[in-house]
Amino acid sequence: MKIRTRLIILFTVTTAIILGLFATVIYLSAKENRQIEFYNLLKKEAITKANIFLNANVDKKILQDIYHNNRKILNEVEVAIYNTHFDLLYHDAVDLDFVKETKPMIDEIYQKGEIEFYQEGWQVIGLQYIYEGKKYIVTAAAYDQYGYSKLNNLLHNSILVFIISILFILVAGIFFSKKAFEPVRAMIAKAKNISATNLDLRLSNNGNKDELSELANTFNEMLNRLESSFDAQKNFVSNISHELRTPLAAIITELELSSNKERTPSEYQTAIKDALNDSKKLVRLSNSLLDLAKASYDPTEIAFKPIRVDEVLLDARQQVQKTNSDFKIDIHFEDEIDNDDQISVNGNEYLLKVAFTNLFENGCKFSTPHRCTVSVRFDSKNITLLFVDKGIGISEHDLLQIFTPFYRGENRTYTYGHGIGLPLTQKIVALHKGEITVASQENKGTTFTIILPHC
Ligand code: ADP
């Protein structure tokens, strides 16, 4: 069921319940009031007639005539007067005798002083009346036609007003909900048109600061992120295929050339060496891509534990120097290490080693002689690592881009590379809740600063 329909039903039912309760309370209290008022009226009539009969000594016949005459136009109260021995002293209409008093009834009135009850819709009251020290029992009965018709009117009017109000509320609910949901419907129509081929479409914002424009803004922001990650994905795939194609094409050319005609053993050796070098580049590239994929995992899927950063630095240095024996890497500790905690972070050893290896490699490969220094300092919160080289530096324009995947700076002709190392390093540092910044001057050198929190 649509939210709009649900809201209309909910709104109408709630209002119907409230109105219904309201009308019921009013009707019941009117009913109660009518009953109380009519018993009071009966009581007054009973006492007045007993007074007239006993006190003013008015003739029975006159009183009965008055009763019979009034009865034709009014719902006259039928009064009967007994003494306590159940002797009838006066009756308005013995011929009608609606109440038909009995001895037990008279006794009950005598005991209780007063009783009230209904008989076939008539209200009856029985009470004691004392005149000159003697006790009399007076009964009075009548049908409250006026009161009942007023009550019926109230009931009919209430039902009518109830039905009209509910209909009105239903129509108003349909109208207002339609108006309120119009922007949502417009959003749905627009959102239906957004697909992978036209991710540039955006939802329109009504300009108000309401929840709907907030939703449109949030949705648009999500589309912005999706669009850029979609573009990045597209670039990523085309960059990878380009990076893979170059060494593969070189290997194929080398092998084709050497298989074209008979070659000397030294020519074969050169061709094999070249092919081997290109294959190694391919392996390095695929390893970097694999690491990039790992670093892009959900952090909850990566194992973190307390590790000593100095040990990871030493491992990374060893690894870099194993493949590049001419690279010189100095590790310099600015503070004295008293305990493990000072130099430890909660991290993933493998990924941190990849990050440090990249920075060592870059520092060395972009400088002559291939040398790089890392300075380590720490405080109670963070460990700070400065990877410094005195190499060719990075241009100001490139500084803004070097963390973009596959981006290689203007200085790329200086040495080999694929443009994956820095974005990978940045991802790894972010996974460790750290920060990486760079400062560089062309032909003077570059410093990468990594700040890693202890935990
Ligand atoms: P790669 O080194 O494979 O080209 P990176 O992602 O590691 O890729 O680096 C991206 C770019 O940043 C490099 O191509 C280079 O232009 C620049 N760069 C990174 N580190 C240094 C450095 N220490 N000195 C000079 N340029 C650097």
Q: For 218-230, how does the pLDDT look when each residue is reduced to its tens digit (9 = 90+)?
A: 999 999 888 877 8
pLDDT confidence band for 73 (50 / 70 / 90): low
Cis peptide before 183 (omega within 30 of 0): no
Contact 390, 367 (CB under 8 A): yes
Can you give 101-153 as a three-state secondary structure string?
Answer: CCHHHHHHHHHHCEEEEEECCEEEEEEEEEECCEEEEEEEEECCHHHHHHHHH
The string of pLDDT tens digits covering residues 341-370 is 899 999 989 889 999 999 999 999 999 899
- Residue 393 in this model has a pLDDT that exceeds 90: yes
| Paired sense of beta strands 328-333 and 371-378, if any | parallel
Query: Taking residues 378-401, what's their average pLDDT?
Result: 94
Among 311, 391, 401, smallest CA distance to 350 is for 311
Quote the CA–CA distance of 360 and 387 in Å, as a whole number. Answer: 7
Beta-sheet strand order (sheet of 134-142): 88-91, 78-83, 134-142, 122-131, 114-119
Beta carbons within 8 Å of 47's beta carbon, 6+ residues apart: 127, 129, 138
Quote the CA–CA distance of 275 and 147 in Å, as a whole number. Answer: 113
The string of pLDDT tens digits covering residues 310-351 is 999 999 999 999 888 999 999 999 988 888 889 999 998 988
Q: Ligand 1: which of 394, 413, 425 to mutate, judged by most atoms within 8 Å of the beta carbon?
A: 394
- Residue 152 in this model has a pLDDT that exceeds 70: yes
pLDDT confidence band for 300 (50 / 70 / 90): confident
Q: How far is the CA of 393 from the centre of ligand 1 (A)?
A: 9
**Residues constituting the chain:** 455
Q: Is 408 in the pocket of ligand 1 (CB under 6 A)?
A: yes
Across 110-128, b (16+ Cβ under 10 Å) vs e yields eeeeeeeeeeeebbbbbbe
Quote the CA–CA distance of 239 and 418 in Å, as a whole number. Answer: 9
Residue type, 148: Y
Among 397, 420, 425, 426, smallest CA distance to 409 is for 397
The string of pLDDT tens digits covering residues 405-452 is 888 999 888 888 889 899 989 989 998 999 999 999 999 999 999 999
- Residue 239 in this model has a pLDDT that exceeds 80: no
Residue nearest to atom 8 of ligand 1 (CA): 419
Quote the CA–CA distance of 71 and 69 in Å, as a whole number. Answer: 5
Among 399, 404, 429, 433, smallest CA distance to 419 is for 404
Quote the CA–CA distance of 245 and 124 in Å, as a whole number. Answer: 110
Quote the CA–CA distance of 26 and 20 in Å, as a whole number. Answer: 10
pLDDT confidence band for 172 (50 / 70 / 90): very high
Q: What is the mean pLDDT of the chain?
A: 89
Q: Ligand 1: which of 367, 422, 447 to mutate, judged by most atoms within 8 Å of the beta carbon?
A: 422
Q: Is 361 in the pocket of ligand 1 (CB under 6 A)?
A: no
- Residue 233 in this model has a pLDDT that exceeds 80: no
Query: Taking residues 8-37, what's their average pLDDT?
Result: 95
Q: Does the model's pTM come out above 0.85?
A: no
pLDDT confidence band for 118 (50 / 70 / 90): very high
Q: How far is the CA of 427 from the centre of ligand 1 (A)?
A: 15
Contact 424, 358 (CB under 8 A): yes
Beta carbons within 8 Å of 68's beta carbon, 6+ residues apart: 93
pLDDT confidence band for 69 (50 / 70 / 90): confident
